[in-house]
Chain A
């Protein structure tokens, strides 16, 4: 049985832990609000871009001269997986869910005899994938210096991916990130960015088909496709940032609650041992007095 002093120390240390997790939870809540605002602010651009792209691609998809970014290389042999995770841990299942999804994809593709290359964004995913897939890594983007995700970060990643595509390093690129659904729910998502995947149905016809294009449709499409890739990467980064803070908030909330429960339990135990010690002393005194 632990001594009274030991118990007291334990209670003290758990109380400190609770303070830390509580603080982390509040920090995550504040950052989450900011990340959500950023995601909200980025929506008009992404929506417009998607709408214009839908109109353009509906017309271009059928033609034989469609750009390779849209039509693909015609092969489906080499795949690039862009795995986006966070730089910091203590965010519950945030990183492992993304890694798990990416791993499933990689295994499935390799099972089908295809080549897989992995580009990691964020340290945590890299660490988790390193042992098994280290030989497949082609590049890593370090986000630890980035305080706030900006469009420049997204463009740097997109440029890297596009350069590799131009060089013929892969046929299909897929993003892995956590889609932010709510504070308690983040959905690991795989999204194909190259060749561009267009929402079906709504793209055909509609008002967008009436536009005049200047310069020609194909020139605009060639200009827009790389931008569209960057926009999608940016959207994924923002979703990921919000998800990370949401996951951390939930994880830290649980940790704080668990610490509270532990403190209650330890306090009960402490009081019980203290009472036992007092009773023991009393018995000693009384039996000593009776012996006289």
Chain B
């Protein structure tokens, strides 16, 4: 069996990355998982976090995503993320933008708590917490003073 597979990171606006890789570590909603060549075909939703990609030459690179889903098959992994950035490209500014989105999302969820139920709010709060964890993990300040409450 081939020891690499095709990895695509796709955002709605363009294809961000398309490289052959040995393995991909993914932050799944129900827990982290690693996909290697020959993985059973699976579709997994992601929580905000870091995706680690081990390239064909063994070098690791990290991507931060704000959620999305991933389609794994035996010879390819396609990650569909609404936002995806290389870890080294993430500045406080970009992270702030992501955080603002998450905050806005939580507020929107709270306004329709009555209609949509408590689950929506829980999900939004969890998303926000995951975003904060991501920020702390890559050394950025998740409690920047600019966030509207």
Contacts and interface: CB of A to CB of B under 8 A. Distances in A.
Interface of A: 38, 41-42, 44-46, 48-49, 52, 56, 150-151, 154-155, 159, 163, 166-167, 207, 210-215, 219-220, 223-224, 227, 230-231, 234
B23 interface: no
B13 A151 contact: yes
B13 A150 contact: yes
A166 B30 contact: no
Given A163-B112, A211-B41, A212-B42, 7 more contacts: A44-B10, A56-B43, A167-B115, A214-B29, A214-B30, A214-B33, A223-B69
A167 B71 CA distance: 32
Contact of B13 (A42, A212, A224): A42
Interface string B38-64: 001111110000000000000000000
A125 to B, nearest CB: 24
6 contacts: A42-B13, A45-B15, A214-B29, A214-B44, A220-B69, A223-B45
A46 B10 CA distance: 10
B50 to A, nearest CB: 19
Contact of B14 (A41, A56, A230): A41
B71 A52 contact: yes
Interface of B: 8, 10-15, 28-30, 33, 40-45, 69, 71, 78, 80, 82, 108, 112, 115-116
Nearest to A51: B71
A163 B112 CA distance: 9
Nearest to B39: A212
B7 to A, nearest CB: 13
B13 A213 contact: no
A12 B10 CA distance: 53
A231 B12 contact: yes
B80 to A, nearest CB: 6
A151 B44 contact: no
Contacts of B45: 214-215, 219-220, 223
**Leading 10 A-B pairs by shortest Cβ distance:** A41-B14, A151-B12, A212-B42, A45-B10, A211-B41, A214-B44, A45-B12, A44-B10, A211-B43, A44-B15
Contact of A41 (B13, B71, B82, B108): B13
Given A52-B71, A166-B116, A224-B69, A212 B41 contact: yes
Nearest to B79: A48
A38 to B, nearest CB: 7
Given A211-B42, A212-B42, A45 B11 contact: yes
Nearest to A38: B13
B29 A215 contact: yes
Contacts of A151: 11-13, 82
A228 B61 CA distance: 29
A42 B11 CA distance: 8
Contacts of A223: 45, 69
B121 to A, nearest CB: 14
Given A44-B8, A151-B82, A167-B115, A52 B13 contact: no
Contacts of B82: 151, 155, 227
Nearest to A150: B13
B123 to A, nearest CB: 9
Contacts of A207: 41
B13 A48 contact: no
A290 to B, nearest CB: 84
